[in-house]
Structure 1
Amino acid sequence: MSEAKLSVRDQLLTHRNRLSPAALVAAAERIAEQALQLPEVRRAATLAAYVSIGSEPGTGLLLDALADAGKRVLLPCLLPDNDLDWAPYTGDLRRARFGLLEPTGEPLGPAAVATADVVLVPGLAVDRTGLRLGRGGGSYDRALARVPVGTFTCVLLHDGEVREQVPAEPHDRRVSAALTPSGGVLRFS
């Protein structure tokens, strides 16, 4: 892992950890509201998403709203090699490694992400070309590599996490959009 990535990650995580609980709740509400209005999300039958933890942009409201709307929601299950399996969200979650929350549904395999019409991923930042900076495990880069070209892929971020440039390595994957609480959706070509 490059020193540049470590430095940027430290800065972003420090900023996130300073957000108040009220700010985190407000951001989660705004992200859910905006995501549900996206045409790609409204049209989607199946979405792959994630369960936020800590100071990540909150997804709890969004996941429940998608399920209530009759959408099939796939959530990740972290495998021992840090790859991601996927299981349907049934409204119940269980504790997993590293403090993660995972769905209780039957795992469908790592390739299940390719069946999603929309893929919502976590990240720490994104640049103006759609290059996403994650936490460093490579889990979502592997998952995004399985997603068919043309699928709407969107990173959910806090305000201020869209940057001119992020440090990159050859395995890093781009997303087609970023969604922030105040900035709405930013689409990349």
Structure 2
Amino acid sequence: MAGPGSDLDATHEWTKDQWRAALLQRRRRVPASVRFAEAMQLTALLTSGNVLRRGQTLCAYVPIGSEPGSVQMLDDVADHGVRILLPIVMGPGPLDWAWYYGRDSLRPGPYGLQQPIGELLGQAALRIADAVLVPALGVDRGGVRLGRGAGFYDRSLSIAAPDTPLIAVVRDQEIVDRLPAESHDVRMTAALTPGRGLVALR
């Protein structure tokens, strides 16, 4: 698959902005009922023991708009005995982190994000994660991730321990053959999709 639509020329070279526009347009067409079902599927995968185990720490995020997942998914994973760190945007630098204590502990943040109100743990808190879920519009089979363009995750993920799984959360069809890459892009080790589960990359 060379692009996000069946009507595209398979040899067409897309820019990141073109990919973002096309993938966002496709996401906006996903019905609420499908998003709900996908969140349930992702929850089942995250609590199955194949991604992480009870007592481990997951760096996650609160999905916004049509992103796969839900706040309920975070609650269910936490109820399964997994500790959850959520990102906090603090200026242009790497993300800060705080523990997730349920949806009542969230407040609005920049870019339409929902962020925890707990104690800031610092950028290096990412190093205690046993796995990191990373929001993505798409990811390719070599691990190149397409985000929304703000660059927060690319500035942050290099802080993670070298062997920490970096997992892009996307829909099944958002794993593509090749995306445009830049030298600062941090590559994902896997993708998590509702239908295909955990897919190894690289």
Q: Same fold (TM over 0.5)?
A: yes
Tell me if structure 1 keeps the 8 A contact 2:93–2:155.
no
TM-score (norm 1): 0.93
Alpha-carbon distance in 2 for matches of 1:44, 1:136: 33
SS in 2 for 1:102: strand
Which residue does 1:84 correspond to in 2?
95
Identity, % of aligned positions? 44
Matched, 1:141 2:170: no
Match of 2:77 among 62, 66, 79: 66
Q: Which runs of 5+ in 2 are unaligned?
A: 1-13
Tell me if structure 2 keeps the 8 A contact 1:44–1:118.
no
SS in 2 for 1:37: coil
Alpha-carbon distance in 1 for matches of 2:166, 2:110: 25
Which residue does 1:124 correspond to in 2?
137
Alpha-carbon distance in 2 for matches of 1:60, 1:112: 21
Once the two structures are TM-superposed, the CA of residue 80 in structure 1 deviates from its matched residue by 1.6
Which residue does 2:197 correspond to in 1?
184
SS in 2 for 1:105: coil
Aligned residues: 187
Query: What code does the residue aligned with 2:64 have?
Result: I
Query: What code does the residue aligned with 2:135 have?
Result: P
Alpha-carbon distance in 2 for matches of 1:104, 1:163: 36
Question: Pairwise CA RMSD of aligned residues?
Answer: 1.5
Matched, 1:173 2:186: yes
Change in CA separation of 1:69 and 1:52 when aligned onto 2, cut-off 3 Å: same
Q: Which runs of 5+ in 1 are unaligned?
A: none
Query: What code does the residue aligned with 1:94 have?
Result: R
Structure 1 runs of 4+ with >3 Å offset? none
Tell me if structure 2 keeps the 8 A contact 1:113–1:146.
yes
TM-score (norm 2): 0.87
Match of 1:11 among 11, 14, 22: 22
* Cα displacement string for residues 117-161 of structure 1 (whole angstroms, at most 9, x for unaligned residues): 111110011111111111111111122111111111111101210
Alpha-carbon distance in 1 for matches of 2:16, 2:135: 16
